[in-house]
Structures are given as structure tokens and as C-alpha cells.
Structure 1
Amino acid sequence: MPSRHRRRLTLLAPLAATALIGTALTVAGPSPTVQAAVPATIPLTFKNNSGRADQVYVYNLGTELSTGRQGWADANGTFHPWPVGGSVPVPAPDASIAGPANGQSMTIRLPKFSGRIYFSYGRKLVFKLATGGLVQPAVQNPSDPNRDILFNWSEYTLNDSGLWLNSTQVDMVSAPYAVGLKRPDGSVVTTGRLKPGGYHGFFNALRGQPGGWARLVQTRADGTVLRALAPGHGIEAGALPANVMNDYIDRVWTKYATSTLTVTPFAHQPSVKYHGRVSGNVMNFTNSAGTVVTSFQKPDSDSVFGCYKLLDAPNDQVRGPISRTLCAGYNRSTLLTNPQQPDTSSAGFYQDTVTNHYARKIHAQMADGKAYGFAFDDVGAHESLVHDGDPRQAYVTLDPFD
């Protein structure tokens, strides 16, 4: 599942909560048959089709699900817990795995983790350990030691119920890659791949979007494009105006002061509905009995982009599902055109002039139209995710920068 909490975190300590992929992890537990089918590790083939000559470094970082310990896995899938960090972060052990050269591939083993597979070009990433866990790159901070490194990551969970593996643009769009898996029948499914020309197409489109969106693009001093920050990070870095979504939010607030927004958060439970009306600075949601079950203050742009703060989504059965539906509606700008949410048809997404243009443009450049442009892009199954309950092989493929 996409994260039920915001993924924009600086510590890897909460990774088990923030990188769980696929709603299946909310079920009570796997059946004995499925449990027996998933081995302790599965192979992941890492292929380099980037066209770049840089040395690639690969990292497999996360939480060991059997113990809850945080650490890293080597190429054989062996778990290594992180040592204790410090109040002043200290260097972490070198967890890098030398990746394949351009045109080559290698196979490592994935253990039962909730984690991230980082990869970097030309330089190793800098990781440090604080008292709360591993400090992740936070490149919206100009002083972050990874600011000038070209890197990206995938997220996955492998457990007794199978594998969930996704590409992600929740934090940034950077080095292109695709993810995939092999099913028991030998078929391979992939996602996350850009269209031919999609890499340059995305950055050119973002640069051409007025209103500060061009400033999300980060480059090195030599002109190398490193990434485009997600809009929440752009607000944090001062690149994007903090009020960029306010006009749309204001119009939503006005509309639902005199009409009702109906949220049906579970596709498999169409009878579960919540009804939202604005009163003053609060949108109250009632159940079928008319009882107020949760309330939201008027969100700001950062809350919308991050699906957190005033749109917090706890992992419960009421507020969280309503919040993730609202988050998707705000980012896709469907709340004014459809009072029945979620709106799951992409034909109506991003049509307002005030919208998440970053998410709009990355979806437009994906070969299958799927991406994780924001944390709850899985509402309506528009996320770049592959899953199988009995995976035989996983894949990460570094794609050309075209």
C-alpha cells in the first residue's frame, strides 16, 4: 500500500509504517497455504539499461518483519542490524552493494523486509545513524550531503502474504527505473516505466508550467539534472509558493458549506458511506445515523500534497480512509466536479487550473499511466505497484535517460 502516513520522513526508523506497500497488509494474516509458499528470501534481478557509464551502488534498507529490527541486507539477503546511533548522527556502516555496469545485470536476495532499494550513480550515498534510526537523504535541504548525488529508490514489502513492489515519485522524480515480478506461471508484470522520451518530456513539461513549478527541478553545478522535488518538498524548500493550492481549497470549502460531499471509502463495502459538510472552518463527516465520526480543519497546500498534518490519515477504519479519499480528490482536483468520492476515473483528473501539476505530468509520461505522484495515489488503483502472493522473482531495471 502506499504509505498510510506521509513518506517524507528524514528517519528510517518508522519505515515499517511508512513504506508498507499494498492494502493487503491490513488483512488479519496470510492463509497457511500462502504462508508456506513464500520462502525466506526471493531473488531480485537488478538490470542496468541506463546507458550511463557511472558505477552504480545498490542498497537494501528497512525493517526485518520477524523482529521489527531496522538494518540492511547484503547481496545474499542476510540481515545486519544497525548499530546504535547518536544524538549527533554518526556514520552508518557501508551497506552498499556494487551494482552492474551498463548493459549488465546482477541478482541479489530480498529478505522479508519492509524497506527501500536505493540506487545511486557515480557516488555512494551518505547515511548516518541518529538515536531514532537511520537518517535518510533529504535533498530539499541544500546542505544534505546527498544533494548533488544522482539517486533514486524503490519500496517493497515481502512477507508471508507475498511481495508488494512499487516505484515511487512521492518525494521526487529522478533517475528512471521500472519494477517487476515473475508470477508462478512464469509471466512477468512490470510498472513504473516511462514512455519513450518521457524523462525529458516530464522535466520539460514541469519547466513550462507557470506558477513556480519549474523551480522544483534541481540541477548540479555542471548542469546535470538531478531530480524534481515533489511539491510538498518544494514548499518546504521555498521553491513553490505555500499557497499554491489555496484557491482550489477555498472553492471546495465554499461548495460544501451548502451541499454534501459523500465518501464511500471501501469499494468492497458500498454501503459504508460518510457525508461531509463544512461549518465554519471545519468539515464534519457523519455516518448513516447522522453521528459525527470525524472532522477536518480547512487544509493548507502542504497538507494536501503530503496527505498529512490537517489531512492526517491514521491506520484506522474511519478517519484514515476518509482522509486518503480527500487527499486524492484534492491532488487530482475532482472534489468540485464530483460530490461522490472517490472519483476513480482518470478522465476527470487534474482538469482544474489549480491542481497537483507535478503528479499530473508524471502520470502523463508513464507508459501505463500509473505512478505514485502523491502518497495516496493508490485510490482507484492508479499507483505503480506490482504484487503477487507467491512471487518467484523480483526485478528493478534502470532505464535510459531519454
Structure 2
Amino acid sequence: MLHRIKHPLVAVAAAVALLGTLLVWAAPSQARAAVPATIPLTIKNSSGRGEPVYVYNIGTSLTTGQQGWADANGTFHAWPAGGNPPTPAPDASIAGPAAGQSLTIRMPKFSGRIYFSYGRKLDFRLTTGGLVQPAVQNPSDPNRNILFNWSEYTLNDGGLWLNSTQVDMFSAPYAVGVRRGDGTTISTGRLKSGGYNAVFAALRAQPGGWANLIQTRTDGSVLRVLSPGHGLETGGLPASVMNDYVNRVWQRYTTSTLTVTPFANQPNTKYYGRVSGNVMNFTNGSGAVVTSFQKPDADSIFRCHKLLDAPNDAVRGPISRTLCAGFNRSTLLTNPNQPDTSSANFYRDAVTNHYARVIHAQMTDGKAYAFAFDDVGNHESLVHDGNPQQAYVTLDPLS
């Protein structure tokens, strides 16, 4: 699964791949106040839980390009060589704050993840190709029964991009924030009161296999909800879950045109989609075909890959991300001009990404990263500043 952080105004970004599981699109450097080598990150434990918390800062150093982890002082440590089968990684954990307490560590210039776990340390392994990160859709993953989550960030000369993410799963809740150069603080990712339990309740009530995305321990305690892409992988969701909507979209645009305007700051750049021979062809203003899409399956839609692949180019990638957002939000039939950026129009069809629907509905600001291109129209849970003074991660109650 390619998991993405993106600056929404960057059309062609520099990709930094992390271990095949994380893709962070780092924004370019800009002429502004110099960003220091590290900035403080304060982790506040408002969870109300009594277990110990373990924190990890792992990723790719933007100074050396090496994979590794940072300690509490922000010092980078490269991973040693791994093996086949994978060998245990060094213990990169930082003792986190107790309930009601805070801990401040340093973030280096990194593209990476801030993991946190309750009660048990995470089990990281190293292969010859790098770090093996948790993949709890695999029932034999050693982290399957650990309550944990992660945030993603890029800190570089252009500033800090820090998000909360549900692209892979919805689990232990948290909010992120940044104190900006002007002294103000912005935050996102916070659930409404009762929102955590409301997500699970809504998915249990949703017919069609959506309740099968919920993972519990053997004692019945809830751990997480898998994203629908992983739900397809585990067999929890039927492969046909999006077929009815896709078929209606393909039928509609056999006789009408889907207009895509992928760049908000380039309103005259438009592409026109029509289905012919079961393929949706997009033409430019001159009538030349610029790219084509086969009818996507649910996996292509939920993960925004395969038949909806989005390369870092100026044409296919921007069209594909627009289609991906339209399919997940089920706006392609109600609006022939995409992207539709009004959240009031999202998830209105009976066939939709119900996982994304219920998560967005329980966020205090309505913002989340429930699928890879949830930033289309700026609906992602992301904070950014070009001159960050302080970053924040707040562990919230599981209620």
C-alpha cells in the first residue's frame, strides 16, 4: 500500500519511498525563514488509559537519504543491515508520557512516521531491503493484537507537513497541530465527543460486509477498523462492493461527458472523459486523447492504484486522483464537473466508501485522510507551516 502525504498545491512532487509501505511527497524548498535542523514535538497523553505508551520516530533522513529512526533528541540512527528471514530491528522506542502528562522530543528533517503504542512495544523487523512495518491485515503479524497508530510528516527546508491518517486503518485516536511562525496554533484530526465509538457503531450497522473491517482481540476489545482496501485483501469486503456504482458511471459517460479540471489554480486546464468500448478516454481541448482508463474495480478505487494509478506527471496523475476521489465520495453521477469539492455532496449514494463516510462524519472539522487522495478539494487532516516553531500530537480518549 502506498501511503501518501501531499502538499495539495504541488502538481509534480519529489517522491521519497519508505520501505515500500510509505510514500511521502515532500514539498520543495522555498525562500523563507530557515527551518532549523530539528523542531520540538510535544506528545500529550489525554487518552485516560493507564498502560505505558511507547513512541517511535522512523523514516528517511532528508539529509542523507538513509532509512532509520530518531531518538528523543532528534539524533538520526541508520538501521543496520537486515536479513532473510527478517531480523529484529534495534529498539527505537521512546518512553511516552503517562496519562495526563506530556513529553517533548525533537523532530529532525525527515519523511516518516510517528508511531505510538499502548501497553506493548511494537515489533519491527529488518529485511535486506529495509524496515518491515506493521501490517495488521495479516493475521500473523506480531503487532496484530497491539493497540497502536501513527502520524505521518515531512520536515524539510520548506517547513512542516504533519497529518493524521486513516488510509490504512482507523484506530487509537489522536490530533496533530503546529505552532506557526506568527505564533498561532492550528490543529486537526480530533474526533467529536463519542466519535470513536460512533465509527465502530456505524460500520457495524452498515450492511454489505463493512462490519467485517473491525478487528478485535480475543477478549472482544476493539483494536481498529481496517481500511476497505485491506478489507478486500482479507476477504472481509466482497470484491464486487463498488461494481454497481462503477457500472452506472460507465453507462452515464457513454452518452455524456465528464469534465475534469484537476488544478484549482489552472481553471482553463480541462480534460473531457467519454466511455467507448468499455474504456474511458480523456481528451484535451484540441480533441487529442491524453490518457485512458479501464473500468476500475473496488481495489483500484479504495487504494487509488492499479487501474487508477496516479503517476507524478501533469496529466494522467491529476486526472486519476480526481477520479479516485469522485469514486470514493460517489460524486461522479451527481456532478459531471469534477472534482466536486463540496463535502455536502459526498457519500450520498448507497454505494460509496462507507469507511471514509463515517470517519469524516465524526471529525470535529470534517477533515480526515480516509483514502489516499482525500486531499482533493482540501478535505485532508493536514497541518502545515513554512516556519514551524512547535509540533503537537495529542493522544485522545477511546470513547
Q: Quickly name the TM-score band, shorter chain normalised.
A: over 0.9
| Deviation larger for 356-365 or 81-90 | 81-90
Q: Does 1:188 align with 2:185?
A: yes
What does the per-residue CA deviation read over 1:18-59, in whole Å, with 9 as the maximum and x for residues that have no partner?
1336xxx1x4x321x34x2x0000000000000000100000
From 344, 347, 359, the equivalent of 1:347 is 344
For residue 223 of structure 2, the aligned residue among 207, 221, 226 is: 226
Matched, 1:113 2:110: yes
Give the equivalent residue in structure 2 for 1:30. Answer: 30
Q: Which runs of 5+ in 1 are unaligned?
A: 5-10
Aligned to 1:89: 86
Aligned to 1:214: 211
1:19 paired to 2:24: yes
Q: Which amino acid aligns with 2:65?
A: G
TM-score, with length taken from structure 2: 0.95
CA deviation after TM superposition for structure 1 residue 185, in Å: 2.4
**Equivalent residue in structure 1 for 2:69, among 66, 72, 80:** 72
Instruction: State the match for 1:47 in structure 2.
Output: 44
Q: Pick one of 350, 355, 360 that aligns with 1:358.
A: 355
Aligned match of 1:292 in 282, 289, 292? Answer: 289
| C-alpha distance in structure 2 between counterparts of 1:57 and 1:358, whole Å | 28
Aligned residue number for residue 330 of structure 2? 333
1:176 and 1:138 map into 2 onto residues whose CA distance is 18
Structure 1 residues 241-295: Cα deviation after superposition (integer angstroms, max 9, x where no partner): 1110010001111111111111100000011111111111311111111111111
Look up the equivalent residue of 2:298 and give its one-letter code.
Answer: S
SS of aligned partner of 2:313: coil
Q: Is the 8 A contact 1:286 1:292 kept in 2?
A: yes
Q: Partners of 2:126 and 2:153 in 1: how far apart?
A: 22
Give deviations 1:133-176, integer Å, cap 9, x for gaps: 11111101101110000000000000000000000000010001
Residue 260 of structure 1 corresponds to which residue in structure 2?
257
Tell me the distance in 1 between the aligned counterparts of 2:18 and 2:147.
20
Cα deviation digits, residues 222-250 of structure 1 (max 9, x gap): 11100000001000001111110010001
Q: Secondary structure at the match of 2:215?
A: strand
Number of the residue aligned with 1:273? 270
Offset of residue 183 of structure 1:
1.1
CA contact (8 A) 1:12 1:136 kept: no
Verify: 1:400 aligned to 2:393, yes or no: no
Whole-angstrom CA distance in 2 between matches of 1:96 and 1:143? 22
Tell me the SS of whatever aligns to 1:310.
helix
Q: CA deviation at 1:371?
A: 0.4
Matched with 2:142 is: 145
Decide which of 59, 73, 80 is 2:56's aligned counterpart. 59
Matched, 1:391 2:396: no
Q: Distance in 2 between matches of 1:40 and 1:62?
A: 15
Match of 1:170 in 2: 167
Whole-angstrom CA distance in 2 between matches of 1:253 and 1:349: 19
Cα pair 1:167 1:371 within 8 Å, conserved: yes
CA RMSD of aligned residues (A): 1.3
Runs of at least 4 residues off by over 3 Å: 1-4
**1:301-340 equivalent positions in 2, closer than 5 A:** 301-340=298-337
Residues 5 and 163 of structure 2 are in contact (CA less than 8 Å); yes or no, is this contact kept in structure 1? no
Separation in 1 of the partners of 2:85 and 2:396?
Answer: 37
Q: Hey, what does 2:14 align to over in structure 1?
A: none
Partner residue of 1:237? Answer: 234
Tell whether 2:370 aligns with 1:373.
yes
Q: Distance in 2 between matches of 1:14 and 1:78?
A: 24
Look up the SS of the partner of 1:358 in the other structure: helix
For the residues of structure 1 that align with 2:91 and 2:141, how far apart are their CA atoms? 18
The answer to whether the 8 A contact 1:3-1:376 is kept is no
Count of matched residue pairs:
387
Distance (whole Å) between structure 2 residues aligned to residue 3 and residue 134 of structure 1: 19
TM-score scaled by length of structure 1: 0.94
Q: Is the 8 A contact 1:327 1:376 kept in 2?
A: yes
Amino acid at match of 2:278: N
Contact 1:73 1:111 (8 Å CA) reproduced: yes
Greater mean deviation of Cα atoms: 64-73 or 101-110: 64-73
Give, in angstroms, the shift of residue 326 of structure 1.
0.3
| Preserved CA contact (<8 Å) 1:57 1:123 | yes
How far 1:12 sits from its partner (Å)? 3.8
2:5–2:153 CA contact under 8 A, matched in 1: no
Residue 42 of structure 2 aligns to a residue in which SS?
A: strand
> Match for residue 125 of structure 2?
128
